[in-house]
Amino acid sequence: MDSSSDPDLGETYHSTESYGEESIEGSESPETEHRQVSRQVIGRKRRSSEMETEMEDDSSAVADSPQNHETSQAPGVARTIESEGVTFKVDCGVTRAQVRNISRDKDIIYFSDCPLERTDLTVGYTVEPGSKWESAKRYHTAQFQGRDLRYHVGQYVYINNKEIVPAPLHADATEDEKLAYDKKNCWVGLLAEFKAVDGEEVFARVYWLYWPDELPMGRQPYHGRRELVLSNHVEIIEAQSLVSLADVSHWDETDDSNKNMLGERYWRQILDVTKLGTQPHRSLRSLSQLRKFCICKGYDSPEQEMFQCPDKDCGTWNHEACLIDNMEQRAWERFKKGTLTHEVPETEQNETSSHIPLNPTKHVATPKSKKTTASRNKKKPWAGKLEGKISRGRKVEDDNYIHIATIRQLVPQSKHEKDDSFKPVTWNMEFNCLKCHRALNSLE
């Protein structure tokens, strides 16, 4: 270990032992071979069911008898991390008032911190034995013998949650298979600091990121498949349980430029454990508010599309599903009267999609991977008769395209038409902003 510099100025911990030697070589980076967890040490993270049970039992137990519980009764999280030499117990989400009630002869010290310099997410936590943790030498980076990878504070990491090494994924695993593997075998954390106890035992303090299914209130309708939820849930884990770096990016919903590409995993929402209360499964207020879009006031997801109105005075994001629903409703009213036909002349539609200038004006509607959360489980009267669709036309610049709206009529409009002679027909439809009604598929 190099102790010639101040750890707060970027000192790196170098191990003299090879930690996690049984991990697959080259698994340190999610961009290379897919990670495989180590059997040597597993991290520990409290499940949502444990949160709920403990908080219902006794919300003040952290002050009364912290030594009798592996997990805290406070509105946060507690977990015991064991190693051959040192055992640290962390109670997260506690207040100074609760700590004052703890007997002075117990080696428990109160700390507070926040993830990503978000002071509004400051959380209090205690560590036992506190003096051991407080006196341990602090590092901002760590590198272990046998691994080329250097971990830095502020990085996202995968953390082992298995005692037995699972079978590795095959080389041509799909994204869905990789996602399922990660959820089953790894937890995700944000590195806050490293500490070396007694010179050699290395621990990492992390903030957990939750898969939506792990949340005490469960997955919400707007959560995407690849989405994580950042939390201020503090934990101390053995550094040997680190598996690899995690490709996680922050999705800023206020940025409409659509220039920032999301990583393999992403987060946009935060779980504040200080707001969980005594019934975490009902505590939606502990989740940060997301931006609402469209006239339906739904949410966003990169797995669905939205189209932004080009009018500067409007700028409304329209969910694709809402646009199609509106289009189908218009077509249905005409269908019932037997008057369904093109809303946009066929020649005009063809001109728009095939003969547009290479340098379009700013009035081209641009889909930017947005989503709807409106419930569409209720059967629609036109189901099986009419189908709306928005399809991509010609590319005009960068990732901007002209889009075409159509209705496919699957059954005859009139009883006078013979079913055996009818063939499905496609009608060109208007494609307008749901708020100001400006055309979204026009260059005007």
pLDDT for 322: 95
Q: What six digits make up the tokens of 80?
A: 């015991």
Q: What is the C-alpha to C-alpha distance for residues 245 and 2, in angstroms, rounded to an integer?
A: 24
CB 122 within 8 A of CB 270: no
Q: Which CATH number does 7-286 carry?
A: 2.30.30.490
How many C-beta atoms lie closer than 10 Å to residue 23's C-beta? 23
Domain boundaries of the chain, sorted by first residue: 7-286, 306-428
The amino acid present at 81, given as its one-letter code, is: I
Q: How far is CA 94 from CA 61, 79, 160, 214, 275, in A?
A: 11, 13, 27, 21, 11
Q: Tell me the mean pLDDT in the region 428-437.
A: 93
Q: 326: part of which helix (H) or strand (E)?
A: helix 320-337
Does the structure show a pLDDT above 70 at 73?
A: no
Per-residue confidence band for 281, with pLDDT thresholds at 50, 70 and 90 = confident
Checking 314-318 for CB contacts under 8 A at 24+ apart, the result is: 314/433, 314/435, 314/436, 314/438, 316/433, 316/434, 316/435, 316/436, 317/293, 317/368, 317/370, 318/294, 318/433, 318/434, 318/435, 318/440
Identify the weakest region by mean pLDDT among 92-101, 346-355, 414-423: 346-355
Flag the least confident range among 65-79, 114-128, 154-168, 396-410.
65-79
User: Residue 27 pLDDT more than 80?
Assistant: no
- pTM comes to 0.73
What is the structure's pLDDT at 279?
A: 82
Q: In the prediction, which pLDDT does 346 show?
A: 67
- Residue-wise pLDDT tens digits, 245-263: 999 999 999 888 766 788 8
